[in-house]
Structure formats: C-alpha cells, structure tokens
Amino acid sequence: MTVLATSDGRLSVWRAMVTGRAFDRAMCAHNGHWHESRGEEAVFIGGFAGLDEGDVIAPHFRGACAVALMNGVDPAELAASVFGSEGSRSAGYWRGDICPAPSRRTIGMFSGSLGTTVAYATGAALHLKLNSGGSAAVCAFGDGTANAGIVAESMNLASMLRLPVVFICQNNQYATSMPALTAFAGGQLTDRARALSIPSLDVNGNDVAALMAARDEGVARARAGEGPTFVHALTYRMGGHYMNDPETYRTTDEVAEWLELDPIDHFLDVLVDQGDLSREDGATFVAAEVERMSSIVSDAKSRVSSSVGDVRRSAFAEHMVAAS
C-alpha cells in the first residue's frame, strides 16, 4: 500500500517537504554558495519516501539534506556537518549536504563528481540482485548530469543485466545556466532510456502523488526481477544555481509563473480537500519549522569548528565497516 493511501502517510510526506525546505532556506541565509532546492521537493521527497528498509537510496545532491532529515537524521548534526563545526558526525571530514555517513542504505556523492551516485546505485542494484532478491535501488540526478557519460553507461549496464534500479531525472530545467531545452538532442530524456529498452515515464515533478506513483511502478518492476525503470520528472529550480547566482539567463516572469506551481502549496491543497489538515494548521506548521530550522542552523554555524585532532585518524575509515 502506498504511503499516500492514508491520511497519516500523506501528512508525513507533506511535512517532510516542509521541513526539508525550512532547513534549505535556513542554509541559504548563512551560506552564499549554498545550492538551494526550493521547488523540487515533490521529486526528492516523493522519490525516496515510503521505501523498504532493504532498499538502497542515492539522492541527488540538490535535496539530499531533506531526504536525510526525512530518514531521521538530527538536523543539528546535519547542519554541523555542512559547516564542519562542533557536533558534526564527520568532524568536518565531509560535507553533510552531499555526503552522509556511509551506511548500508544511503549513498552520498563521495567522489565530489556529479553522476557518480548513479553508478553507485547501479552497483548497489547488482549487489541486491545477487544477494537479496526483492529489494531495489533508487537514485536521482539532475538534467545537467543526464548528459554525463557515466549515466548512459550505468543505464546500459542496468538494462543488460536487468538490475533492480529506478533512475529518477530531477529535471529543474537548468544546468547552472544552460537551459535543458537546448542541452538535449534526440527528443525527450525518456527517449534515451527507451533506446536502451528501459521502460520510461514522463511525470509532473511538482505533483508528489504523480511522482510517487511512477516511482512505485518502477520499484514494483524492480522487486519482480523485471529490471530498471526511468522516471523523468519535470520540475523547476525556483532559486539560482547557488545563492550568489546573478540569474541573467532567465526572466522574472518565468520564475513567477513557476512559483504559482509550488509543489508544497499544491499538495497542501490536496490535504485540505481531503480533510487531512486545515489551511490554518498547515500555515502554523510551516512557520514553526522555519523558526526551528533557522535557530538550529544559526547555532551550528556559530559553534567553534571541530578540532582536526590526530591527522592520522580518518573518519571515513572508522565507518568503512558500515559500507562494506
């Protein structure tokens, strides 16, 4: 049963979207190079909500913090990991926004190169197929990353070996300043996947229910041993590529048009219509999360930086057992 089939499930998804954005906006206020994810919540929350414990996830870096929070990571620890301040789980050895601590379930962008998480998820899917039938790997990546060679190689391998993996393209329509409409040859992104014999779905990336339905279809195929699925989710990056982005490559009218399609507001309308939540209670929750995350992030930034300590000590090595 999909998580959206119950009132509690729908509320949990909406709250995860709100909390993720609140954390993201708090980071925007304290980091001029922060890559915000506002507007894309339906894709990265919908893409990874409600999966089984045995499934492996590899979120796109834009939204990775929200996915971590949804999965129970302490926001104070997460913020400290971004700033490398006291309280960071990694003691500043890696950035918590893109590289969570190694675990059996969550894959971060450990190489620092876009597209690698797609390859990692494909490798994880091979492991799942060989060792634990019935589980799936789900990964997300941006439209810019879709042009990386490693993505095509991973999808080809997944198709050849019928690996249990769902590829989600989080198309926010701009790779830095390059419009997606001018960056792709040969039709839609789903056409590329279909050329590799991968079943593919185009969905409204601002509709979390549509996204989750497509994701669930892919996961069901993966669990049944039917191989990979490609989901192309069209969404929009409401902010710049990073906080100091001058955004000279798009118009204010275009941004305003997409602001009207806010995925959090859209899903709140659904909750109100179904009697899950009043609009007033929704506004109260949003305001409370904004205040809470602002305080947490501000406090994390103000702390003294973690001591490097023994230079021979490797935080990654100490956690390698978790990733083995």
Q: Which long-range contacts (C-beta less than 8 Å, at least 24 apart) are formed by 250-253?
A: 250/174, 250/179
Exposure of 229 in the CB half-sphere (CA atoms within 13 A): 23
**Residue from 131, 132, 150 nearest 141 by CA:** 150
Q: How far is CA 92 from CA 86, 203, 260, 294, 305, in A?
A: 9, 38, 38, 21, 8
Q: What is the pTM of this model?
A: 0.92
Distance of alpha carbon 253 from the chain centroid: 27
> Both tokens of residue 90?
């990694």
What beta strand segments (E) does 44-131 contain? 56-58
Q: Is 310 exposed, middle or buried (0-12, 13-18, 19+ CB in 10 A)?
A: exposed
Going residue by residue through the chain (324 aa), what tens digit of pLDDT does each one get?
Answer: 589 999 999 999 999 999 999 999 999 998 888 899 999 999 999 999 999 999 999 999 999 999 999 999 999 999 998 888 888 877 667 778 887 776 779 998 877 788 999 999 999 999 999 997 899 999 999 999 999 999 999 999 999 999 999 999 999 999 888 888 788 887 788 999 999 999 999 999 999 999 999 999 999 999 999 999 999 999 999 998 988 888 999 999 999 999 999 999 999 999 999 999 999 999 999 999 999 999 999 999 998 665 545 545 555 555 544 443
User: 273: how many CB neighbours lie within 10 A of its CB?
Assistant: 8
